[in-house]
Structure 1
Amino acid sequence: MRPKTTSNPEEAEVLALNALGFLAAEPDRLQRFMDLAGLDIQAIRASAAEPAFLGAVIDHLLADESLLLIFAEEQQMRPDRIASLRRKLPGAALDF
Structure 2
Amino acid sequence: MRNAQESAERFALQALAWLVGNDDLLPVFLGSTGASEADLKQRAADPVFLGAVLDFVMMDDAWVVAFCDSVDASYDRPMMARAALPGGEQVNWT
Regarding TM over 0.5, the answer is yes
Q: Which TM-score tier does this pair reach, normalised by the shorter chain?
A: 0.7 to 0.9
User: Sequence identity, in percent?
Assistant: 32
Q: Which residue of 2 aligns with 1:23?
A: 19
**Are 1:62 and 2:58 counterparts?**
yes
Compute the displacement of 1:81 (Å).
Answer: 2.2
Measured after TM superposition, the shift of residue 86 of structure 1 is: 1.0
Gaps of 5+ in 1: none
Deviations 1:43-73 (A, max 9, x none): 2221111000001101111111111110111
Deviation >3 Å, runs of 4+: none
TM-score norm. by structure 2 comes to: 0.86
Give the aligned length: 90
Q: Is the Cα contact below 8 Å between 2:8 and 2:84 reproduced in 1? A: yes
Q: CA RMSD in A?
A: 1.8
> What TM-score, normalized by structure 1, do the two folds share?
0.84
